[in-house]
Amino acid sequence: MVKITYNAARCKGCHYCVNACPKKCITLSGDTNNAGYETVKFNETECVACGSCYTVCPDYAIVIEKED
Amino acid sequence: MAAKTFNIPTLMQGLPPHTACQGCGHGIAGRIIYEVIEEMGMSSNCVAFHDLACGANMLFAQKGNGFSGAHGRAIPTATGFKRTRPDMLVFSYAGDGATYSIGMQHTIHTALRNENITAIVVNNTNFGMTGGQMSPATLIGQKTTSSPKGRTAELNGNPIDITEVYSGMKIAYLARGSVDSVANINKTKAYIRKAFEKQMAGCGFSFVEIMAPCPTNWGMTALGSIKRMQDEVLKLYPVGEYIDGGAK
């Protein structure tokens, strides 16, 4: 079970996470946050909690927790 | 299997978003430094010496000890502190403009004295905060606000490669990392850990250069700047360990 906490208010829309995800479970949300940046959305069922999106995020918007 | 969590270091939690631009490499570089500090159990026993300009963005992205001195003088300020408090983990954090241009004399002489500190340099090949002017690390042909037709070797000289400057010097550690991919970020984190461990063992001067994108001043999208790093920048500045010296 993977729990992704995404803080959309911190996101600056660089989309490094979309590029880095090996399972392609991060996609553009089509929505913008208050600062005007396009945010992303996550498919938690496909996620394997590899931490790639957390590693490349320059704005600390993603927290991943995995419990087996 | 035990629970696995990816969360930013305690010293960076609960703060407002930092002020770096979209896609800036400083955010990643700052985070991996504090991840290493937390893993080493040094969170309350470390001091960061930041330079001005973009390097100072990360001073306000953490709650630990920090100091920002004169521009280009992060390395000598850290040297002075380390001499009085050798028990603390001391590192300087600056950009390529400050380290290779404004503070170049300190970059050379600190290495010649083999001071027991760690210098971390985030190299984005230009002066970021002042508007993207040419720095000593700017690539040949790169257009900046002070080289609008692109840098040329005849007019502006060749770009500086710190691994060539330090080659043959008796320093403890020299490595170059990058924040362009997950693999390189993890590699860079291992380099920073090794540099800090050498400092705490009293081996001498350790230096880690981190190649980073600057989408705003390169005039690119964030993902376009990562592609430029992989296609051009990392070919001139390859990632790896260059000096791995022993004890003093």
Q: State whether residue B21 sits within 8 Å of chain A by CB.
A: yes
Contacts of B28 in chain A (CB under 8 A): 55-58
A26: containing domain: 2-66
Nearest to A58 among B1, B20, B182 (CB): B20
* Closest listed residue to residue A12, CA positions, set A35, A29, A31, A28: A35
Among chain A residues, the shortest Cα distance to B16 is held by A10
Cβ atoms within 10 A of the Cβ of B125, count?
31
pLDDT of residue B246: 67
The answer, yes or no, to whether residue B227 has pLDDT greater than 90, is yes
**Tally of structural domains, chain A:** 1
pLDDT of residue A39: 95
Distance from C-alpha of A31 to C-alpha of B218, rounded to nearest angstrom: 27
pLDDT of residue B58: 84
Is the separation of the CB atoms in B34 and B193 below 8 Å?
A: no
**Secondary structure (3-state) at A38:** strand
ipTM over 0.85 threshold: yes
Q: With an 8 Å Cβ cutoff, are B31 and A56 in contact?
A: no
The string of pLDDT tens digits covering residues B63-113 is 999 999 889 999 999 999 999 999 999 999 999 999 999 999 999 999 999
Question: B23 to each of A2, B207, B221, how far by Cα in Å?
Answer: 26, 24, 8
Which option is the CATH number for B20-244: 3.40.50.970, 3.40.30.10, 3.20.20.70, 3.40.50.1010?
3.40.50.970
* Closest listed residue to residue B38, CA positions, set B58, B62, B60, B57: B62
Contacts of B18 in chain A (CB under 8 A): 59
pLDDT of residue B34: 95
The string of pLDDT tens digits covering residues A21-51 is 999 999 999 999 999 999 999 999 999 999 9
pLDDT of residue B60: 86
The string of pLDDT tens digits covering residues B56-65 is 888 888 999 9
Nearest to A14 among B26, B31, B222 (CB): B222
The string of pLDDT tens digits covering residues B9-35 is 999 999 999 989 999 999 999 999 999
The answer, yes or no, to whether residue B212 has pLDDT greater than 70, is yes
The residue whose two tokens read 């930041």 is B50
Q: State whether residue B186 sits within 8 Å of chain A by CB.
A: yes
The answer, yes or no, to whether residue B248 has pLDDT greater than 70, is no
Contacts of B228 in chain A (CB under 8 A): none
* Helices B182-200 and B26-39, packing angle to 10 deg: 50
The size of the A-B interface in CB pairs under 8 A is: 77
Q: With an 8 Å Cβ cutoff, are B22 and A12 in contact?
A: yes
Q: With an 8 Å Cβ cutoff, are B24 and A54 in contact?
A: no
Helix (H) or strand (E) holding B174: strand B173-178
Among chain A residues, the shortest Cα distance to B220 is held by A14
Distance from C-alpha of A4 to C-alpha of A66, rounded to nearest angstrom: 9
Q: Read off the CATH number of the domain in which A51 is found.
A: 3.30.70.3270
Is the separation of the CB atoms in B185 and A56 below 8 Å?
A: yes
DSSP letters spanning B133-145: B--TTPPTT--BT
Contacts of B20 in chain A (CB under 8 A): 58
Token pair in block for residue A53: 């999106």
pLDDT of residue B247: 55
The string of pLDDT tens digits covering residues B132-161 is 999 999 999 999 999 999 999 999 999 999
pLDDT of residue B53: 85
Closest approach of B27 to chain A, Cα-based (Å): 4
Distance from C-alpha of A59 to C-alpha of A38, rounded to nearest angstrom: 14
Q: What is the mean pLDDT of chain B?
A: 93
Indicate which of A6, A14, A64 best probes the interface with B, i.e. most B CBs within 10 Å of its own CB: A14
Q: State whether residue B24 sits within 8 Å of chain A by CB.
A: yes
Indicate which of B10, B13, B21, B22 best probes the interface with A, i.e. most A CBs within 10 Å of its own CB: B22
**Secondary structure (3-state) at B224:** helix
Nearest to B17 among A10, A13, A64 (CB): A10
Distance from C-alpha of B188 to C-alpha of B194, rounded to nearest angstrom: 10
Beta bridge partners of B119: B92, B207
Among chain A residues, the shortest Cα distance to B13 is held by A60
| Nearby residues of A26 by Cβ (< 8 Å), 6 or more positions away | A17, A18, A40, A41, A42, A43, A53
pLDDT of residue B2: 62
